[in-house]
Amino acid sequence: ATVETEMKSMSPAERVQTFINQMVVWEAGFHAEKKSDHYKHSTEYRCRADADAKARLVDIFSENLSAKSLNTLGAARLETLGTGRPPEYDQTVLMDTENRFGTGWTVETRKTKGINQRYQYILNMESGTPKISGVNVWRNSAEKWEHRNAI
């Protein structure tokens, strides 16, 4: 089977769009949770909320990241459960940036609020569907993509 017929589920750009949509919902929801009085003042509540947020994050990562990336890219976010204001994942997939290279693809996004940041997601086929295997951030000062160790 060719790569085109293997891509029955979604395109690389659709995979990235799905991932950032799920992440912005997770990030905004958990950020609000961390601001709540219950979270701030009840250790038991905070532990339960953290465990729930981590479980939701594992589900998102399992669906969208490659198996290898789950243990590398996803590890830091799962450890810190970091969220941002404005949300880091409030990104837009840039039209016509889905590019093929070797056995994979790259798809670019741009943060819609805050610092005008560009990201490049790297995807590879896994079980017939594109999965995110890496992410780069554009560094204007160096005028090149820089690999990120965490997603």
4: pLDDT strictly greater than 80: no
In this prediction, residue 86 has a pLDDT band, given cuts at 50, 70 and 90, of confident
Cα–Cα distance between 50 and 56 in angstroms, integer? 10
Confidence of residue 2 (pLDDT cuts 50, 70, 90): very low
Confidence of residue 6 (pLDDT cuts 50, 70, 90): very low
* Tens digits of residue pLDDT in 51-78: 999 999 999 999 999 998 988 888 889 9
Q: What does the pLDDT average to over 5-11?
A: 63
11 SS3 class = coil
Which is more confidently placed, 61 or 8? Answer: 61
Give the predicted TM-score (pTM) of the model.
0.89
Residue 92: partners with Cβ closer than 8 Å, 6 or more residues away: 109, 110, 112
Task: Answer yes or no: is pLDDT of 7 > 60.
Answer: no
Residue 1 pLDDT exceeds 80:
no
> Tokens standing for 120?
């490049």
Q: List the one residue out of 127, 123, 128, 131 whose CA is nearest residue 3.
A: 128
The torsion defined by the Cα of 87, 129, 79 and 106, in degrees rounded to 10, comes to -60
pLDDT band at 8 (very low <50, low <70, confident <90, very high): low
Cα–Cα dist 75/85, whole Å = 21
